[in-house]
Structure 1
Amino acid sequence: MSYPRIIHHGAVSGVTGSCHQLQMNAHSSLLIDCGLFQGSELTAKGTIGALHPEINFSLGGIKALLVTHSHADHVGRIPYLLAAGFKGPILCSEPTAKLLPLVLEDAFKLELSREKKHIELYLQRLKQQVIALPFDHWFRIEQTETLHARIRLQRAGHILGSAYVECDLDYPQKGLNRRIVFSGDLGAPHTPLLPAPVSPERADVLILESTYGDRVHEDRTTRQARLEHAIDKALADHGTLLIPAFSIGRTQELLYEIEDILHRKALAGPPPGLSVKDQVLPVNWPQLPIILDSPLAGRLTGVYRELDDYWDAPAQSRLQGGRKPLHFKQMITIDSHVQHMQTVRYLASTGRPAIVIAAGGMCASGRIVNYLKALLGDRRHNVLFTGYQARGTPGAAIQKYGPQGGFVEMEGERCIIRAGVSTLGGYSAHADQQDLLNFVSGMAHWPEQICLVHGDIEAKRVLAKKLLGLYQAHNRSVEVLIPAD
């Protein structure tokens, strides 16, 4: 058998469950991510009970787990990996090392145990195994007579701390060197708070995500104006705007953008011809509550604030100007479940204009579910999607059937959709088709083989065709693979 070789344990037939094993030789391998399956992809995979994903591969010879970033579809199976006996190092960037315990503590409570002593033991073990690595530094994994292996993390621009992984494998006795790059989830240009990813110098083999391989995002430079317009429309309906959002990444981006809108509104003052006394909604932004209803999102946002050294130049400039992009005056954080239910009932009964950002991003779980059950049937309210909704999730159903006046099943309850439903493009944290092509063409040494993962089959097929066209246009050859289950 020839090495290196790659085995996929997830993110092959869809966009979740990222988990890839780099077999470096017969005795040593690396695991890159260990994520949960979500949506309709969950039911298609082997499970123990309803929510306990199997670790259905051998852990023998796995030298380390490399974590690209802290989203559940990349890290959510780590509790089960540890339970299966994995005792090796968990390597990740310095920001991810701070975010990961929070994300996995929450997952542990939801999926395994709420016993305090169990949680403490689990987190203690996790912290013992996590090793934080700086970006752009090589870290040696193994050095023997037959194999010199090292890895390097580079900024991926997807969420704070996200990385793509360069694996450099040297086989001295064979005179062979192979550079293998795992993209993780790549971000796009003009992402709030984060610098855009820069292509690696070279790759012989590239494991490339393809979430948006079949499309180009709406203009990201105008998305804040479109967000402002969407909020104005919702306020004109004299109700609440619900924004489902993942606790890490999207939530902080939205807060950052909304703070900037509020800042500009305050500088502009009331519209010409209107006194402050006469000013009414939808232009009364200064009194609009921005409700962040997710204890996890609140804690993660606190970590984002602590790690402002990793923010991009525009965000740094705002801080230096005395602004607080993630902790502004109109922001209200809801922590306890009692406060949460009180807020849901209050908004449902009064219809008071407000913006609610609540977990989770695909409406399958989290506090957003209670808001949707209470408010979806009222025409005063609006739901705004700013992120990808995987097949089989309630979010995808609301997106599809909401404009038709349909219904969605939530926790066994049929909810009629009368609230307005809209989707705002340009907020995806993923690279689009052109960004993915640019990531490849930006390398000095283009990959000889590209393996497409983390995308629906049509997205992969379209991206594969585009990649072949790119190589052909530059008189280069490439093998593009679409692995199967």
Structure 2
Amino acid sequence: MDVRFLGGAGEIGRSALCIDERLVLDFGMDSGNPPAFPIGDVDPGAVVVSHGHLDHVGSVPALLSGDARPEIHWTPPTYDLTMVLARDTLKLHGGSYDCPFTEAELARVAEVSETHGYEASFEAAGYEVTFFDAGHVPGSAHVLVDDGDTRLLYTGDFHTDDQRLVSGTTARPDADVVICESTYSDVEHENRTEVEKRFAESVKTTLWEGGTVVVPAFAIGRTQEMMLICDAYDIPCYVDGMGKQVTEMLQQYPEFVRDEDAFRRAKSHARFVTGRNGQRKRITDQKAAIITTSGMLSGGPAMTYIPEIRSNPTNKVTMTGYQVEGTPGRDLVETGSAEIDGRVMPVSAKVEQYDFSAHADRNGLFEFLDPYEDSPILINHGDRCERFATELQEAGFEATAPEVGSVETI
């Protein structure tokens, strides 16, 4: 089994692998400026997708150009999430170099899509493939690929701890080789309950003082997690941006969330923003949390809310996810200013950062890999892959960190 790394090796973004030039696992994009896509030409017999985040699915429709019609395999939520993201990509970048596919290629996705549940094996390009719940976002999967001689486990993104939205992964399928993500390989997450409590106390204090809290959040996973937390702590909240559409869609898949009743209550508790008739500006005067995209302040309704609330030090901005270097969100956290709609704005409102990550931390990665001590481990999806591979070697694992473009025979 030969594995070619088309992206995501030594980096976060554009995750993509090709097995024996026949089977592609994920085909994402890095949405930076400029965006980056998987390298090389591929003509697979089938595509298998681990989960519906842009860095894993953002370029998938591009595989359907010309006469190419590979089957695409994923869980039901991942298919729907991919379509939401792809339509948004077309809306933002259609017809430009920044968009890796066309409207016609996106339309073909439904024709070749095949959905599968967890632990139900299926055939793809001559391999036996099985999905296991990865505990990252609804529908996320570890992917086990078996060619009859070698069992390859591609972890995708995963979390070993429970979140309110999904339960942590407990799957540890037998595997001869593991390709493992390493996003938080040098971080130990604070206890999730303690993070929630600090967040809730901070928000409630601001609301009691008469302020408003803007909660930038990724549309897929994080928005819904913050809704669940607001409901649990009785925090009045609005929801805006793509997260509204994702929330509606996820209600169709109760079996892919941890607590269907809690999810339904959280949706009822939140007020969805329509954006009509100046509603957004009126909301900024409310004593409420506003959960909105974009999570890194690089677009979305946050561009309306931040300028409205920035000058009042009673107000607050609570960042809920990792802020990539060079994004307005990272600038805001580090400098107290951010470029919003083309101009740099100082923000007098308090800015706080919370770790609500949906990825396993260092301890979680070691815990997950423990059963695979006798199997070669290939480290990807991280910006410190080599260092983590070295640490695994020191702990007794056979671990390496491939580079983009490299081919590993396993």
TM-score using structure 2 length: 0.90
In the other structure, the counterpart of 2:18 is 21
Contact 2:62–2:105 (CA<8 Å) still a contact in 1?
no
Compared CA separation, residues 450 and 367, structure 1 to 2 (3 A) = same
State the 1:449 CA deviation: 1.9
State the 1:462 CA deviation: 4.3
State the 1:157 CA deviation: 0.6
State the 1:121 CA deviation: 5.2
Contact 1:452–1:481 (CA<8 Å) still a contact in 2?
yes
Q: Which amino acid aligns with 1:448?
A: S
In 2, the alpha carbon distance for the partners of 1:16 and 1:95 equals 21
In 2, the alpha carbon distance for the partners of 1:325 and 1:456 equals 38
SS at match of 2:395: helix
In the other structure, the counterpart of 2:408 is none
Matches within 5 A, 1:131-280: 131-143=114-126, 149-170=127-148, 177-262=149-234
State the 1:209 CA deviation: 0.9
State the 1:244 CA deviation: 0.9
State the 1:480 CA deviation: 2.3
Percentage of pairs with the same residue: 25
In 2, the alpha carbon distance for the partners of 1:431 and 1:82 equals 33
SS at match of 2:266: coil
Q: Which amino acid aligns with 1:328?
A: S
1:38 aligns with 2:31: yes
Q: How many residues align?
A: 401
Contact 1:182–1:208 (CA<8 Å) still a contact in 2?
yes
Contact 2:134–2:140 (CA<8 Å) still a contact in 1?
yes
In 2, the alpha carbon distance for the partners of 1:142 and 1:78 equals 16
Contact 1:449–1:481 (CA<8 Å) still a contact in 2?
no
In 1, the alpha carbon distance for the partners of 2:38 and 2:189 equals 35
Q: Which amino acid aligns with 1:304?
A: L
In the other structure, the counterpart of 2:392 is 467
Contact 2:216–2:292 (CA<8 Å) still a contact in 1?
yes
Q: Which amino acid aligns with 2:302?
A: I
In 2, the alpha carbon distance for the partners of 1:133 and 1:447 equals 30
In 2, the alpha carbon distance for the partners of 1:237 and 1:85 equals 61
Deviation readout 1:59-109 (Å, 9 max, x if unpaired): 23x111111111111111123333466420111012222332222222222
State the 1:56 CA deviation: 4.3
SS at match of 2:77: helix
1:346 aligns with 2:282: yes
Q: Which amino acid aligns with 1:334?
A: V
TM-score using structure 1 length: 0.77
Compared CA separation, residues 54 and 478, structure 1 to 2 (3 A) = closer
State the 1:21 CA deviation: 1.5
Contact 2:217–2:294 (CA<8 Å) still a contact in 1?
yes
Pick aligned residue for 1:451 from 378, 389, 393:
378
In 2, the alpha carbon distance for the partners of 1:35 and 1:85 equals 21
Contact 1:377–1:415 (CA<8 Å) still a contact in 2?
no
Q: Which amino acid aligns with 2:230?
A: I
State the 1:38 CA deviation: 2.9
Compared CA separation, residues 430 and 168, structure 1 to 2 (3 A) = same
Pick aligned residue for 1:130 from 113, 121, 124:
113
SS at match of 2:175: coil
Contact 1:109–1:119 (CA<8 Å) still a contact in 2?
no
In 1, the alpha carbon distance for the partners of 2:193 and 2:227 equals 17
Compared CA separation, residues 438 and 335, structure 1 to 2 (3 A) = same
Contact 1:259–1:328 (CA<8 Å) still a contact in 2?
no
In 2, the alpha carbon distance for the partners of 1:22 and 1:119 equals 26
In the other structure, the counterpart of 2:334 is 400
Deviation readout 1:10-35 (Å, 9 max, x if unpaired): 22242111112122xxxx42111111
SS at match of 1:400: helix
State the 1:347 CA deviation: 4.5
Contact 1:202–1:447 (CA<8 Å) still a contact in 2?
no
Contact 2:133–2:171 (CA<8 Å) still a contact in 1?
no
Contact 2:94–2:102 (CA<8 Å) still a contact in 1?
no
Q: Which amino acid aligns with 2:292?
A: A
SS at match of 2:47: strand
Contact 1:205–1:447 (CA<8 Å) still a contact in 2?
no
State the 1:142 CA deviation: 4.2
Compared CA separation, residues 120 and 452, structure 1 to 2 (3 A) = closer
What is the CA RMSD across the aligned residues, in angstroms?
2.5
In the other structure, the counterpart of 1:478 is 398
Matches within 5 A, 1:411-426: 411-425=341-355
Gapped runs of 5+ residues in structure 2?
406-410
Deviation readout 1:219-246 (Å, 9 max, x if unpaired): 0132321221121232244221111111
Q: Which amino acid aligns with 1:292?
A: V
Contact 2:64–2:70 (CA<8 Å) still a contact in 1?
no
In the other structure, the counterpart of 2:272 is 333
SS at match of 1:361: coil
In 2, the alpha carbon distance for the partners of 1:462 and 1:205 equals 19
SS at match of 1:102: helix
Compared CA separation, residues 358 and 447, structure 1 to 2 (3 A) = farther
Compared CA separation, residues 101 and 414, structure 1 to 2 (3 A) = same
In 2, the alpha carbon distance for the partners of 1:241 and 1:19 equals 37
Q: In terms of Rg, which structure is larger?
A: 1
Matches within 5 A, 1:368-447: 368-402=302-336, 407-425=337-355, 427-441=356-370, 443=371, 445-446=372-373
State the 1:440 CA deviation: 0.8
Contact 2:296–2:329 (CA<8 Å) still a contact in 1?
yes
In 2, the alpha carbon distance for the partners of 1:300 and 1:429 equals 17
Gapped runs of 5+ residues in structure 1?
44-50, 144-148, 171-176, 263-284, 472-476
